[in-house]
Structure 1
Amino acid sequence: MWIPISDAPIACFLHFEVAAESGDWIVVDKGAPLIVHPSNGKKEPNLLEGVEALLSYEITNGAALSLVNRLDRETSGLTLVAKNKAAARQLGRAMQRRLVHKEYLAIVRGWPEWTETTCTAPVLRQGDVAESRIWVKQAVHPAGKECCTVFRVEQAWSTSHGPLALVRCIPETGRMHQIRVHLAHLGHPILGDKIYGPSEECYLDYIQHGWSRELEEKLILPRHALHACRLGFPFDEQMFTAEAPLPEDMRRLLDAGGQKDSVR
């Protein structure tokens, strides 16, 4: 049974900062939760409209914005936007050829037994092989598409919410929810993840009733603790790199722990 999503507005943090820019592209550090472009016919604030407002003068003079990479609503961090069709084609080809380097930081539950590992478990939409009430939910399955993510533990610490770890995530492929699915598969779901965390009931409760004290007790954070922190890409035979610091909500968790270990 599919659960319909309410028509009521979903929580939104309309904030972004410019991380790097040229005459042909701009990289912005997106807040969360915030969608990158309009979806499902709903009228709500989104990142693309915000960037269009920022670049209104350039748009008046012929700029045509195009998103090169996309982040989930609840994922914060770096998004690359082309300013014209030629740049969109060039950057799009770089994405297709896997020449764009992306790194994320995630706060996960538990202390991984590994310092670094690579997950190559294939992923597909769960509803294609098993029952799920969440259309977008993905799952590890032998019939899934090729999928590869490198994980590296940056720090582990104790908190009142239990042991947590900061993990650097480097996806070598670009499947939907890839990092979230792989971390859950490894036994360390991302803190605050409504779909791949304690139970998918968290997601269903949230889209029907919004954030609640009960959800806070289960998830701790009102969004999943995943941040796109580094983005490298080629353009006009040069390599460019942008970085974005951890957002405040993730930084607070990092600073609030007890005993801490660096890379183990």
Structure 2
Amino acid sequence: MSPRPPRKPKAHETPIALTAEEIAFTRALVIHQDPSVIALNKPPGLSSQGGRINANTLDELLWAFAKPGGSRPRLVHRLDRDTSGVILTARTKPAASFLGKAMIAKRFRKTYLAIVAPGAPSPKGGVIETPLRRESIGREAYMRTTDADHPDAETARTRYRTLAATLEAALMELSPETGRMHQLRVHMQSLGRPIVGDVRYGGALTVSGHEVPRLMLHAVKLRYPHPDGGEATVEAPMPDDMAALVAALGLAGTNPAGAA
């Protein structure tokens, strides 16, 4: 999740030269496009913006959609590097302004899928309203649960429900109503059910003998007001590695994308 909107692009930014393979890769991520927006299914391991590794971020890869002499689409929001799923971009300045204001007004409805362990939380569904605060350890930033009267406390609210569960793991649907950094990850940790693969917040790296390759958190659906009127919904299929783990853990058989 993103703690704040992406940075605004600087005027007359210099286009980044992309290889033919990078252009093809980026265009293959498209799950919806129209004159105002492009929605992408971001793969895990790709930084939305400002990554530390020596590789292009999604923000930079958006030059794949720019016309000669034109500008690239603008990120409307971000996802953590290891989180996959729906990410929205605006193709025009008016669309970017409209969507930015809509996001600040909390008119976006985001739905995530997560695998947690061990088993389902109790209760299996509800609302988490535990406040969070930011803590820095060296160069790394963490979020911690905290008391509401702490001077650094930030309100945080997450709706959750269990879609499928065994004694060892559960497939969860998570809907954040605020956009704090790492909110879903810390809120699930607070229930004693951290997201598997989340080494930062205590997630298991092996579940029922199955290795967990990464953070198992996927932005499956986004509902938002469209710049051209009305509301729009876009969905992103679960990545192969997450779908394989869901099946291996006996959590398949639901229709998560249509369940929210």
TM-score (norm 1): 0.77
1:45 to 56, 75, 99: 56
What residue identity is the alignment partner of 1:30?
Answer: K
Q: Closer, same or farther in 2 for the Cα pair 1:230/1:26, shift >3 Å?
A: same
Q: Could you tell me which residue of structure 1 aligns to residue 195 of structure 2?
A: 190
Q: Could you tell me which residue of structure 1 aligns to residue 73 of structure 2?
A: 65
Q: Could you tell me which residue of structure 1 aligns to residue 129 of structure 2?
A: 120
Task: Report the CA distance between 1:17 and its aligned residue.
Answer: 1.6
Helix, strand or coil: the match of 1:93?
helix
Q: Closer, same or farther in 2 for the Cα pair 1:219/1:172, shift >3 Å?
A: farther
Q: Deviations over 1:142-179 (max 9, x none)?
A: 22111000011000135xxxx01000000000000000
Equivalent residues in 2 for 1:153-192, closer than 5 Å: 153-157=162-166, 163-192=168-197
Q: Following the alignment from structure 2 to structure 1, what is the Cα–Cα distance between the partners of residues 135 and 161?
A: 27
Q: Could you tell me which residue of structure 2 aligns to residue 56 of structure 1?
A: 66
2:117 to 90, 109, 114: 109
Q: Following the alignment from structure 2 to structure 1, what is the Cα–Cα distance between the partners of residues 96 and 131?
A: 29
| Residue 232 (str. 1) matches residue 223 (str. 2) | yes
Task: Report the CA distance between 1:65 and its aligned residue.
Answer: 2.0
Aligned residue-pair number: 223
Q: Following the alignment from structure 1 to structure 2, what is the Cα–Cα distance between the partners of residues 136 and 78?
A: 24
Q: Is the 8 A contact 1:122 1:147 kept in 2?
A: yes
1:220 to 207, 211, 218: 211
Q: Closer, same or farther in 2 for the Cα pair 1:88/1:260, shift >3 Å?
A: closer
Task: Report the CA distance between 1:261 and its aligned residue.
Answer: 9.2
Q: Following the alignment from structure 1 to structure 2, what is the Cα–Cα distance between the partners of residues 260 and 241?
A: 23
Q: Deviations over 1:65-85 (max 9, x none)?
A: 211110000000010011121
Q: Is the 8 A contact 1:29 1:78 kept in 2?
A: yes
Task: Report the CA distance between 1:134 and its aligned residue.
Answer: 6.3
Q: Following the alignment from structure 1 to structure 2, what is the Cα–Cα distance between the partners of residues 245 and 96?
A: 26
Q: Following the alignment from structure 2 to structure 1, what is the Cα–Cα distance between the partners of residues 183 and 210?
A: 20
Gaps of 5+ in 1: 1-13, 200-214
Q: Following the alignment from structure 1 to structure 2, what is the Cα–Cα distance between the partners of residues 73 and 222?
A: 14
Equivalent residues in 2 for 1:11-26, closer than 5 Å: 17-26=29-38
Helix, strand or coil: the match of 1:38?
coil
Higher mean Cα deviation, 85-94 or 231-240? 231-240
Identity %: 35
Helix, strand or coil: the match of 2:222?
strand
Q: Following the alignment from structure 2 to structure 1, what is the Cα–Cα distance between the partners of residues 251 and 127?
A: 27
Equivalent residues in 2 for 1:70-149, closer than 5 Å: 70-111=78-119, 112-127=121-136, 132=137, 135-142=140-147, 143=150, 144-149=153-158
Task: Report the CA distance between 1:260 and its aligned residue.
Answer: 7.8
Q: Closer, same or farther in 2 for the Cα pair 1:38/1:233, shift >3 Å?
A: same
Cα RMSD over matched residues? 2.6
Q: Following the alignment from structure 2 to structure 1, what is the Cα–Cα distance between the partners of residues 139 and 202?
A: 14
